[in-house]
Amino acid sequence: MEWYRFVIFGKVQGVFYRKSVSQALMKKQFKGYIRNLSDGTVEVVAEIFDEDFDTFMNILKEGSLLSSVEDVKYEIIDDAEFNTDGFEIKYS
């Protein structure tokens, strides 16, 4: 199990991307958060088991009906200071 930080590029703000992705990730019982960034991208921080990584990536790439994901960059992070029992949308 690792904590990851993802940045999603494309048409991902103002198209229900966060809501669709967060609902799908909640159903799969992932832990973490999703939020818009000021540069038009979306950030996702999540705890993922190795065997669930492909499922997680597919959810990020699928997005919402109105979104268009062009790219997903990610990194493993060691300093995740986020405590949650589920998945949430952050408004910051």
Task: Name the residue ranges covered by the structural domains of the chain.
Answer: 2-89
Q: Which of 35, 30, 24 is nearest to 84 (CA)?
A: 30
The answer to whether 58 is a known catalytic residue is no
Distance between CA atoms of residues 46 and 87, nearest Å: 8
The answer to whether 5 is a known catalytic residue is no
pLDDT tens string 23-61: 999 999 999 999 999 999 999 999 999 999 999 999 999
Kindly report the CATH number that applies to the domain delimited by 2-89: 3.30.70.100
Identified catalytic residue from 18, 35, 58, 83: 18
Residue 48: other Cβ atoms inside 10 A: 21
Identified catalytic residue from 35, 36, 58, 83: 36
Distance between CA atoms of residues 63 and 76, nearest Å: 21
The pTM is what?
0.93
Distance between CA atoms of residues 29 and 60, nearest Å: 15
